[in-house]
């Protein structure tokens, strides 16, 4: 088991290495950060000075090597734009994104699983059909458009919720969280729902598909034949089985939610990591892009590992030890 | 946050037509801006939102009034005492937020700090480089020695926020961002800063100028246009800047907001490829074969293209009135504006005739490039111009790209015709003339943003004379001549000058500014005395 | 749907009845049992036809700048055009582009981008996922680390880089979407295949010494289909929506050749100012497209699922 973990960690390091090379080459191919950041009034001498100040005058491979050297000592570089350590910049923004992503995921599970169960158990009922149609709409609408509609309806027309931004925060464990205040929750509601919409549909469909398949399995039939109550059959036998795809997908989705909350964050002016990365891409702030992607890679690898581990817990047929 | 709640209730009340009752004790203001404040260190990153913050927290020797004309700041007056020496008289009894007095030593310290800020992606050294030495005459008098005559020193120094020697000796950029040394002589004090989210400020009761109207200022960053408009409509904020042109018409008729606007200092123009005489990268004949020459080098072709553009249509239809058609760098009233230099009347017939004279009776094919995320309606403007050029026989494809990609290609002279903008921060025509249209020369520091590599020795000569002319009237005349020569040669094609548009809730007054800066000292409750300059 | 398919499926389960029933015919008849899926298929076919014949039926070529007139910009639905030759039934956008024509042409782009990228991504992803699950060991590790790499790479950055390398264009958007999406298929297929390959029928097939590709494609793959179809359905929808999002961020198709997504994002700025039609009608078209695809895919899944037919 520990050997398995070690191997995964080693692989993670390789992936991160590959990622950093891609970003270096990619940013280099896209353009010149100085051209974007520098005041247009600047003359050629000023431009050269800025290029030197940011270390961009060296050949790319030398820039990369010095980055690598620093990275091994835990220094991922300083943001070109903010002149602060890139890692610190990202960690500051992380709580905002985390609470958004978890908020959305929790919403998706709380709303999605019961609706999916119902639709799976009573596929013929009109309510189920409505649920399924609604779920199709859920992932058909582009996020940015739904976001704006939500703002139009709930903030501008009805005035129930604040239109944008993050609410009051309290400091816990050295990080600022907004979900612990009423004002924070009010600000969180719309962006979380916006981000959750796609996932709710996903969970509904996965749950329903799982339920329908499982109900036809021999062991379910057998459990019923044994005279177990319907409730017990559903919540013990069926539920356990449908959780595998749900766990996989929701686990994967949590990672991608954190990584790709860019659109929701930019529509709702949510000061999270997604907003930071899109801003950084727009100004080619390479240290931040690299550091961000490193963190995301690490997170994905962790999530995948957890998903694999829970696979083996939920489905004894999948044995990690069997993997060579 | 109670404030925004109350604002929301107010907005709701007014939305139901119950009228507006402004609370008399409104002491807080929430402002939402579209552009990111990247640093509180006023010498780290020369960028408009950072200037705006620096003017709230720190302040410079000189400043610009709302029309973009230079006026006194921390210095009361200045004059050249020799051909290469400027003398500045400082304002007496000015104190920093920590109580330290502002003196000539602080000025000398500030000038010495500017070029030493590490890792600066856009250094303010640009504005201090002309200074060879600083001479402290007495605590309230300081002299700047320059290499030769340097008429625009006051304009340059208006960009440089003054710091306190005692506090800021050895201070790092991070110390400003954390608030530790975010101490200046400006109308507001630092309270807190969350990068990418908001800056909180409080009134500086010891400010040397008119007292600002607000006890507390919440300066929020909302880059998404729709979200910003929604925020003011929902009453979450009291003022927004960069109102999207698509919303202006509607907001004018909405009693929940008031529009405040002013002609800006940013010109949107087309630059043309002058680099490749043997054929421009994105120009072909009508069959897609290379032409073997660059038609843009022919004045008649440039005139034809210029004449084909219906600027009134662009301003009216695309910009929805939030711009003024122009044929030069600056709006009326600015230093170096050329009276009577107007855009040509759009005339497709005459344009086709000029093309035929130049040897292109059937036109040619061209791609017009532009950014799609940089200037107001940039991608829409190039499409409209594409339509107009296609009508005179120049079959134009249009490509809008993100600024990152676009600017790299334009900077490598890979494009034939492209749209860019220029904001004249100094408020005088020498800045665009030097950076945009002067012959590219590393040694002179000219043409830094001349991405089409246009060159005109006659205009260069006038500019050179202007840059050494201390007499304002003579300098302005020289700049006007240089502008006229460049524009009659269609060195670039100015399209329009943007209007800067803000929206406030009713009951607030805002001094709209030509330089696009959004500052809390420019807003006050209606009827209150105008605060800071 | 399941209840109706169940007893019917039970009949052919009896070995070799004399009835002539090819699997395909059975599939077709089962598919058309669902009214909603049939409607979905009809609508989808109609949309495909509109997309195919757009140049013949659209009143205007919205991609030809010479046919647009900015003075006709932002006209309300039902206005006659400036030359009085046809009516803008769905209004015009800011460039004076007829929205009806714009939607017809936009449909072409959206459908080809969505379907094209989904199919290619599915082929690539499913093959790699199967290979990973079947081969295991080092192959599995390499492929899955590649998946990790891919999934952790924000689509927007990938798209930005690809478009920076290659320039804007429909094919480049497809390529970007494939690169962004293949990993989802790979992961899904591998997850299912990992469970399936431990099952008896695979062991049986291996014991019969069937060739590897036969085991993979004839035995393993069909049993991995249900989740693949669920994901595939969603990914087509997702591809179209993602393209719209890329356009929203300024990275999608060229501005003069808008897809449905770009039409929506161009018009979305006008939503607050009351000019709803610029964004609304393309939005409806996008919605109908995706919903019809999903109705079909949804039912396909039920029909193709071997476990529902035990």
Quote the ipTM score: 0.80
Q: Which 3 state secondary structure label does DSSP give B371?
A: strand
Closest CA relative to residue A209, chosen from C294, C308, C35, C293: C308
Cβ-Cβ contacts under 8 Å for B248 (sequence gap 6 or more): B259, B320, B321, B322, B501
- Which backbone phi and psi does A245 adopt, to 5 degrees? -65, -35
B chain contacts of residue A82, beta-carbon cutoff 8 Å: 38-39, 177, 195
Nearest CA in chain B to A272: B196
Q: Do B249 and C273 touch (CB under 8 A)?
A: yes
Residue corresponding to tokens 């054929």: B279
pLDDT-based confidence at residue C160 (cuts at 50, 70, 90): low
pLDDT at position C2: 37
The answer to whether domain C33-63+71-308 has CATH 3.40.50.300 is no
- Tell which of B245, B365, B368, B380 to mutate to test the C interface (max C CBs under 10 Å): B380
Length of chain A in residues, anyone?
324
B chain contacts of residue C73, beta-carbon cutoff 8 Å: 317-318
Q: Do C269 and B391 touch (CB under 8 A)?
A: no
DSSP state for residue B43 in the 8-state scheme: T
Between B142 and A278, residue with greater pLDDT? B142
Tokens of B269: 């123009």
- Which backbone phi and psi does A236 adopt, to 5 degrees? -95, -55
pLDDT at position C219: 78
Mean pLDDT calculated for residue range A209-233 = 77
Mean pLDDT calculated for residue range B238-264 = 92
Crossing angle, helix A2-30 and helix B403-411, to 10 degrees?
50
Shortest alpha-carbon distance between residue C160 and chain B (Å): 9
Mean pLDDT calculated for residue range A218-242 = 76
Q: Is the pLDDT at A22 greater than 60, yes or no?
A: yes
Dump pLDDT digits (tens) for C268-304: 778 767 788 888 888 889 888 888 887 787 777 777 6
pLDDT-based confidence at residue A28 (cuts at 50, 70, 90): confident
Mean pLDDT calculated for residue range C185-198 = 83
pLDDT at position A164: 74
pLDDT-based confidence at residue A320 (cuts at 50, 70, 90): low
Nearest by CB: A11 against C145, C298, C302: C145
Q: Do A137 and C287 touch (CB under 8 A)?
A: yes
Mean pLDDT calculated for residue range B159-165 = 96
Residue A148 forms contact with C (CB below 8 Å): yes
Distance CA B56, CA B74 (A): 13
Are B50 and B37 in contact by the 8 Å Cβ rule? The answer is yes
Dump pLDDT digits (tens) for B252-266: 989 999 999 999 999
Mean pLDDT calculated for residue range C95-119 = 90
Q: Do B4 and A162 touch (CB under 8 A)?
A: yes
- Tell which of A11, A145, A283 to mutate to test the C interface (max C CBs under 10 Å): A145
Shortest alpha-carbon distance between residue C155 and chain B (Å): 16
Strands B365-371 vs B417-423: parallel, antiparallel or unpaired: parallel
Nearest CA in chain C to B370: C255
Tokens of C138: 């080092």
Nearest by CB: A267 against B36, B227, B425: B227
Distance CA B45, CA C158 (A): 28
Dihedral of the alpha carbons of C188, C191, C194, C197, in degrees to the nearest 10: -40
- How would you classify residue A54: left for phi > 0, otherwise alpha for psi between -120 and 50, otherwise beta? alpha
pLDDT-based confidence at residue C20 (cuts at 50, 70, 90): low
Shortest alpha-carbon distance between residue C151 and chain A (Å): 7
Share of chain C above pLDDT 90, in %: 11
Task: Count Cβ atoms within 10 A of the Cβ of residue B49 and give its class: 0-12 exposed, 13-18 middle, 19 or more buried.
Answer: buried
Strands B70-72 vs B62-64: parallel, antiparallel or unpaired: antiparallel
Closest CA relative to residue B430, chosen from B147, B145, B131, B130: B130
Q: Is the pLDDT at B458 greater than 90, yes or no?
A: yes
Distance of CA C49 to the CA centre of its chain: 16
Q: Do C272 and B373 touch (CB under 8 A)?
A: no
Tokens of A131: 């649920």
Q: Do A42 and B235 touch (CB under 8 A)?
A: no
Dump pLDDT digits (tens) for A277-296: 888 888 888 899 888 888 87
- Within chain C, what is the greatest distance between any pair of CA atoms? 76
Q: Which 3 state secondary structure label does DSSP give C63?
A: coil
- Which backbone phi and psi does B160 adopt, to 5 degrees? -105, 110
Mean pLDDT calculated for residue range A176-180 = 78
Q: Is the pLDDT at A244 greater than 80, yes or no?
A: no
Q: Is the pLDDT at A139 greater than 80, yes or no?
A: no
Highest mean pLDDT among A237-251, B333-347, C106-120: B333-347
Q: Is the pLDDT at A137 greater than 60, yes or no?
A: yes
Interface of A with C in 109-138 (CB under 8 A): 123-124, 129, 132, 136-137
Crossing angle, helix A239-260 and helix C170-196, to 10 degrees?
150
Mean pLDDT of chain A: 81
Cα-atom radius of gyration of chain A, to the nearest Å? 24
pLDDT at position C165: 65
pLDDT at position B23: 42
Closest CA relative to residue A191, chosen from A297, A262, A281, A110: A262
Q: Do B246 and C272 touch (CB under 8 A)?
A: yes
Q: Is the pLDDT at A95 greater than 50, yes or no?
A: yes
Distance CA B243, CA B455 (A): 37
Between B381 and A184, residue with greater pLDDT? B381
pLDDT-based confidence at residue A324 (cuts at 50, 70, 90): very low
Shortest alpha-carbon distance between residue C256 and chain B (Å): 7
- Which backbone phi and psi does B128 adopt, to 5 degrees? -115, -5
Mean pLDDT calculated for residue range C203-210 = 81
- Tell which of C74, C92, C246, C255 to mutate to test the B interface (max B CBs under 10 Å): C255
Tokens of B181: 């040394």
- Which backbone phi and psi does B344 adopt, to 5 degrees? -65, 150
């Amino acid at each position: 088991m520990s050997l398995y973990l070690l191997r995964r960690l080693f692989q993670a390091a390789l992936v991160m290495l590959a990622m950093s090379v891609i970003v270096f080459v990619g940013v280099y191919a896209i353009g010149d950060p100085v051209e974007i950041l520098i005041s247009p009034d600047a003359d050629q001498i000023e431009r050269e000075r800025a290029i030197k100040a940011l270390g961009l005058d060296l050949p790319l491979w030398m820039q990369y090597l010095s980055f690598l050297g620093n990275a091994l000592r835990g220094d991922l570089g300083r943001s070109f734009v903010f002149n602060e350590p890139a890692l610190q910049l990202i960690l500051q923004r992380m709580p905002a994104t985390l609470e958004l992503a978890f908020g959305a995921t929790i919403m998706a599970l709380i709303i999605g699983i019961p609706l999916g169960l119902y639709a799976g158990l009573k596929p013929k009922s009109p309510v189920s059909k409505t649920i399924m149609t609604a779920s199709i709409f859920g992932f058909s609408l582009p996020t940015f458009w739904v976001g704006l509609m939500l703002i139009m309806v709930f903030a501008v027309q009805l005035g129930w919720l604040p239109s944008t931004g993050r609410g009051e925060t309290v400091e816990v464990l050295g990080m600022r969280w907004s979900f612990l205040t009423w004002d924070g929750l009010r600000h969180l509601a719309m962006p979380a729902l916006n981000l959750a919409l796609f996932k709710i549909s996903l969970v509904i469909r996965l749950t329903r598909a799982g339920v329908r398949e499982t109900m036809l399995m021999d062991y379910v039939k057998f459990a019923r034949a044994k005279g177990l109550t319907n409730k017990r059959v559903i919540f013990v036998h069926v539920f356990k089985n449908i959780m595998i795809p749900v766990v996989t997908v929701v686990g994967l989705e949590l990672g991608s939610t954190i990584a790709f909350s860019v659109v929701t964050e930019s529509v709702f002016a949510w000061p999270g990591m997604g907003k930071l990365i899109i801003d950084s891409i727009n100004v080619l702030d390479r240290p931040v892009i690299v550091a961000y992607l490193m963190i995301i890679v690490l997170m994905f690898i962790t999530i995948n590992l957890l998903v694999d581990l829970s696979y083996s817990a939920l489905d004894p047929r999948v044995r990690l030890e069997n993997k060579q | 946050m109670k404030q925004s709640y109350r604002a929301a209730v107010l907005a709701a009340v007014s939305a139901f037509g119950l009228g507006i009752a402004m609370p008399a004790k409104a002491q807080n203001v929430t402002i939402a801006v579209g552009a990111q404040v990247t640093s509180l260190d006023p010498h780290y990153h020369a960028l408009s939102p950072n200037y705006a913050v620096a003017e709230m927290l720190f302040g410079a020797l000189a400043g610009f009034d709302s029309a973009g004309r230079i006026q006194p700041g921390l210095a009361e007056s200045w004059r050249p005492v020799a051909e290469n020496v400027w003398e500045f008289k400082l304002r007496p009894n000015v104190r920093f937020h920590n109580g330290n007095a502002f003196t000539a030593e602080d000025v000398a310290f500030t000038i010495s700090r500017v070029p030493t800020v590490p890792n600066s992606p856009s250094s303010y050294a640009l504005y201090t480089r002309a200074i060879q030495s600083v001479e402290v005459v007495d605590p309230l008098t300081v002299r700047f020695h320059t290499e030769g005559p340097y008429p625009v020193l006051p304009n340059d120094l208006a960009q440089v926020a003054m710091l306190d020697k005692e506090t800021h000796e050895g201070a790092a950029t991070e110390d400003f961002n954390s608030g530790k040394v975010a101490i200046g002589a400006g109308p507001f004090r630092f309270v807190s800063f969350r990068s990418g989210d908001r800056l909180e400020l409080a009134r500086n009761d010891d400010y040397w100028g008119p007292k600002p109207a607000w006890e507390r200022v919440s300066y929020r960053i909302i880059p998404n246009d729709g979200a910003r408009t929604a925020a003011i409509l929902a009453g979450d904020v009291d003022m927004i800047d960069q109102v999207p042109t698509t919303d202006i018409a509607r907001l004018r008729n909405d009693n929940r907001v008031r529009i405040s606007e002013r002609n800006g200092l940013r010109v949107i123009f087309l630059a043309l490829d002058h680099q490749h005489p043997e054929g421009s990268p994105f120009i072909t004949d009508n069959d897609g074969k290379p032409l073997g020459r660059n038609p843009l080098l022919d004045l008649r072709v440039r005139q034809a293209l210029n004449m084909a553009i219906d600027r009134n249509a662009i301003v009216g239809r695309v910009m929805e009135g939030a711009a003024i058609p122009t044929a030069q760098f600056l709006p009326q009233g600015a230093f170096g504006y050329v009276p009577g230099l107007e855009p040509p009347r759009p005339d497709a017939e005459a344009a086709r005739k000029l093309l035929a004279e130049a040897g292109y009776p059937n036109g040619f094919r061209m791609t017009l490039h532009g950014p799609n995320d940089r200037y107001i309606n940039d991608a829409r403007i190039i499409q409209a111009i594409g339509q107009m050029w296609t009508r005179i026989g120049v079959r134009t494809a249009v490509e809008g790209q993100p600024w990152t990609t676009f600017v790299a290609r334009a900077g490598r002279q890979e494009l034939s015709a492209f749209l860019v903008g220029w904001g004249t921060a100094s408020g005088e025509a020498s800045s665009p003339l030097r950076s945009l249209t002067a012959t590219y020369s590393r040694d002179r520091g000219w043409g830094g943003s001349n991405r089409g590599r246009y060159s005109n020795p006659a205009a260069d000569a006038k500019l050179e004379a202007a840059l050494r002319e201390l007499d304002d009237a003579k300098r302005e005349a020289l700049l006007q001549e240089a502008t006229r020569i460049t524009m009659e040669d269609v060195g670039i094609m100015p399209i329009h000058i943007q209007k800067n548009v803000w929206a406030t809730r009713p009951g607030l007054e805002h001094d709209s500014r030509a330089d696009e800066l959004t500052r809390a000292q420019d807003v006050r409750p209606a009827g209150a005395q105008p605060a800071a300059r | 749907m399941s209840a109706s398919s169940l007893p019917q499926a039970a009949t052919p389960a009896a070995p070799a009845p004399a009835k002539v029933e090819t699997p395909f015919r059975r599939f077709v008849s089962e598919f058309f049992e669902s009214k909603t899926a049939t409607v979905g298929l009809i609508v989808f076919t109609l949309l495909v036809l509109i997309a195919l014949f757009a140049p013949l039926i659209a009143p205007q070529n919205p991609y030809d700048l010479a046919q647009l007139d900015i003075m006709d910009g932002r006209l309300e639905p039902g206005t006659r055009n400036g030359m009085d030759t046809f009516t803008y039934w769905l209004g015009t956008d800011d460039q004076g582009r007829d929205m009806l024509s714009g939607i017809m042409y936009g449909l072409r782009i959206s459908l080809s981008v969505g379907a094209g990228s989904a199919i290619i991504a599915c082929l690539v992803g499913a093959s790699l996922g199967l290979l990973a699950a079947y081969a295991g060991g080092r192959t599995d590790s390499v492929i899955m680390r590649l998946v990790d790499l891919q999934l952790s790479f924000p689509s927007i950055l990938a798209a930005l880089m690809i478009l920076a390398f290659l320039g804007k264009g429909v094919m480049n958007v497809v390529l970007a979407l494939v690169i962004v999406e293949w990993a989802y298929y790979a992961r899904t297929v591998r997850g299912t295949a990992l469970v399936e390959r431990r099952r008896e029928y695979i062991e049986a097939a291996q014991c019969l010494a069937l060739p590897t590709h036969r085991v993979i494609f004839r035995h393993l793959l069909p049993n991995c289909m249900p989740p693949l179809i669920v994901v595939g359905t969603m990914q087509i929808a997702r591809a179209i929506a993602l393209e719209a999002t890329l356009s929203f961020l300024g990275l999608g198709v060229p501005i003069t050749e808008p897809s449905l997504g770009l039409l929506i994002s161009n018009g979305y700025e006008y939503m607050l100012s009351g000019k709803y039609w610029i964004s609304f009608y393309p939005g409806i078209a996008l919605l109908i497209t995706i919903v019809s695809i999903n109705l079909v895919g949804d039912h396909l899944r039920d029909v193709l699922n071997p476990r529902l037919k035990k």
